[in-house]
Structure 1
């Protein structure tokens, strides 16, 4: 089943596709977490360092193919492009109000 992506998660995807690390970071809660295949990065400083090295810094592009709701999470199937990892991936987003509290990345 395909659902519409919630606004907080959509803002992160848009910021990544725009190469806007500041907007990307602003989309997370203060204690937000990126879980990239089990490696966790918490808070703006750690998420920025990870993103600079492996995500927005690698000119990532995310083409959303499907969105599903799984309990408290929105799960996005996307094709990842750019200068780092490329190929299919899944991004699970948990939100807290209008921001993302956790973004989990898996294959």
Structure 2
């Protein structure tokens, strides 16, 4: 994951460690998760989503590709765990030393 901006690498490492507090800390205060058009804004909403659909189902992300498109970092990963399994694309927008937005698409 050496091609990743530090905030994105930190967020992905926390997710893979099933560290919800570390995952939430990687976001800005107004951070957003966009999961197929469903938006979760702020730490409480992101935690609720993650507990039900991401870290709460022991997500595992095996990064297979990283691309930079303008101000977005696009990460392709093989997703595993007790929830969705299969390839997904994650688009990250970084603001300073934190992630402002994480959008998930297949």
Instruction: Please state which band the TM-score falls in when normalised by the shorter chain.
Output: over 0.9
Q: Name the CA distance, whole Å, in 2 between partners of 1:61 and 1:13.
A: 9
Q: What does 1:34-45 correspond to in 2, within 5 Å?
A: 34-45=33-44
TM-score (norm 2): 0.98
Specify every segment of 5 or more residues in structure 1 that has no aligned partner in the other structure, as ranges. none
* Distance (Å, rounded) in 2 between the aligned partners of 1:99 and 1:86: 27
Number of equivalenced pairs: 105
Normalised by the length of structure 1, the TM-score is 0.97
Alpha-carbon shift at residue 82 of structure 1 (Å):
0.1
Instruction: Return the alpha-carbon distance in structure 1 between the equivalents of residues 78 and 71 of structure 2.
Output: 23
Counterpart CA distance in 2 for 1:84 and 1:103 is 18
Partner of 1:102: 101
Q: What is the match of residue 32 of structure 1?
A: 31
Give unmatched runs, 5+ long, in structure 2: none
